[in-house]
Amino acid sequence: MTDAKTTIDEAVKSSDVVLFMKGTKSMPQCGFSSRVAGVLTYMGVDFADVNVLADDGIRQGIKEYSDWPTIPQLYIKGEFVGGCDIITEMTMSGELDTLLETSGVTYDKDAAEKIRAANA
């Protein structure tokens, strides 16, 4: 587990935004991962993706690392933000915009507004 924890820690700290997901941002392997990757991509957020299906140690290790039982898991500036439901709620409320802004992460505010308008 130590190797997985080290790998996870390095991934979380190596990019401003990291999504641990099933599959990749270009080919998600589950609906929840697809939703979060889709939101980030649509909003123009530059993010690293880690495919937990490629390594069972990472798949289990990320759950222990965050003390969160499900995947996907989003990290911004090294901090765990949440999974699909939390990211969806934060997107709809504008909290994700605020977190990205305060973290100095570039995103397309108009795209975020379009997401909210389409789901109002």
- At 41-89, the pLDDT tens digits run 999 999 999 999 999 999 999 999 999 999 999 999 999 999 999 999 9
Q: Is the peptide bond before 28 cis (omega within 30 degrees of 0)?
A: no
Q: Is the pLDDT of residue 2 over 90?
A: no
Based on its alpha-carbon atoms, the radius of gyration of the chain, rounded to whole angstroms, reads: 14
Record the pTM.
0.95
Neighbours of 46 (CB within 10 A): 12
Contact of 62 with 8, CB cutoff 8 Å: yes
Domains present along the chain, CATH in parentheses: 2-118 (3.40.30.10)
